[in-house]
């Protein structure tokens, strides 16, 4: 049953990631991926803290949201590929900025989500 829950969450997360990337136009800087990953970090922080007691009795729902939906919505592989492409095309500063901003904003937004979720549980 947990596999089905992850599959369903992943289908929705992957679909939403695609729609988000279509709506946010990228130039040289891969803005859509950084926005998607930062939103995913915020959501992961809120969900894993705010619903902690609910998830204890509903572990399949937790897996559907965290591993399935958020896992498919966020995209480490796209971040890695876009960085390699930027480097290949000679955009060393943009690639470095992209990696640094992705990490910093990822940590900041998961911390914000964690704090928001903890304050409400």
* Averaged pLDDT, 110-119: 91
| Residue whose C-alpha is closest to residue 60's, from 121, 7, 120, 113 | 7
Residue 87: its pLDDT value, please? 98
31-50 helix and 76-88 helix, angle to the nearest 10 degrees? 160
- In angstroms, the CA 52 to CA 77 distance is 28
Residue 27: its pLDDT value, please? 82
Range in 4-8, 51-55, 66-70, 86-90 with the lowest mean pLDDT: 51-55
| Residue whose C-alpha is closest to residue 66's, from 43, 38, 35, 37 | 43
pLDDT digits (tens, 9 = 90+) for 14-48: 999 999 999 998 788 999 999 999 999 999 999 98
Structure tokens at 84: 């390699």
Structure tokens at 22: 């279509």
Structure tokens at 24: 């946010």
Contact 45, 114 (CB under 8 A): yes
Q: How confident is the model at residue 95 (pLDDT cuts 50, 70, 90)?
A: very high
Predicted TM-score (pTM) of the model is 0.87
């Amino acid at each position: 049953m947990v596999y089905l829950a992850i599959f369903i969450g992943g289908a929705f997360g992957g679909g939403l990631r695609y729609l988000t990337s279509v709506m946010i136009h990228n130039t040289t800087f891969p803005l859509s991926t950084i926005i998607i990953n930062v939103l995913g970090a915020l959501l992961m922080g809120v969900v894993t803290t705010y619903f902690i007691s609910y998830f204890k009795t509903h572990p399949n729902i937790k897996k559907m949201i965290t591993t399935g939906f958020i896992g498919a919505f966020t995209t480490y592989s796209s971040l890695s590929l876009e960085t390699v492409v930027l480097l290949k095309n000679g955009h060393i500063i943009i690639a470095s900025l992209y990696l640094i901003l992705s990490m910093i904003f990822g940590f900041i937004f998961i911390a914000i989500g964690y704090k928001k979720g903890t304050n409400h549980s």
